[in-house]
Amino acid sequence: MIELDVLRVFCGPDGGGGNPLGVVRDGAAVPDAAGRAALAAELGFSETVFLDDEARGTVDIRTPSSRLPFAGHPLVGLAWLLRSLGRPPRTLRPPAGAVEVGFEADLTWVRGRAAWVPARTTRRHASAAEVDALPAPPPGEGWLYAWAWQDETAGVVRARAFPRRGDGIAEDEATGAAAMLLTHELGRPLDIRQGAGSQILTRVHPDGGIAVGGRVRRRTP
């Protein structure tokens, strides 16, 4: 029997939105790569995360079609879940490297590097309305993060994410890794309003690291 937690990660200020995430806290329950790939495909979430060693924070992140070295929303969600169980982690370890974890009020933060983000294109549009008008997905190939300034002075961005990898995910509701990449490109902290109602906050650290943070809720049936 596989115990699965389903969360919504990067919820908006009103608690809406958020990207669904599957969490398998006992990675040993699905020990082989083929089984994990099959479960991730069956669930159909943009990502499912397997916790392999809680003491070390070792994790395995899967999309419905691939394994990821790093992703923001699975790490934020898992960190929040462990804290809710009274076991807040200080570090999580996806294949890319050690990720520092922090908590502030109802926000959960993870800190990584833009170099860890799998290849994807960021494309600026003239307005938030132009981003909103895009089909899901837009024509073309490869991972696309479409964005526009909603309030440039305040650092507020409107964004939508399109994996375009042929695995049934037409649009990703909230994407921490893409938010990290855009923050690196712009060189400033951002307040990203993504998808139908999600919010991702980012920070730039002096050592070049970038933190992404947001709210998490359990998903109700």
Distance (Å, rounded) from C-alpha 2 to C-alpha 169?
A: 23
Helix (H) or strand (E) holding 180: helix 176-186
For CA atoms 17, 193, 181, 112, the dihedral sign is negative
CA distances from 118 to 14, 141, 179 (A): 31, 15, 12
The string of pLDDT tens digits covering residues 140-171 is: 999 999 999 999 999 999 999 999 999 999 99
pLDDT per residue as tens digits for the range 171-201: 999 999 999 999 999 999 999 999 999 999 9
Calculate the average pLDDT of the chain.
Answer: 97
pTM of the model: 0.97
Average pLDDT over residues 76-100: 98
Tokens of 143: 């991972």
pLDDT at 221: 66
pLDDT digits (tens, 9 = 90+) for 13-41: 999 999 999 999 999 999 999 999 999 99
Quote the CA–CA distance of 50 and 34 in Å, as a whole number: 13
pLDDT at 145: 98
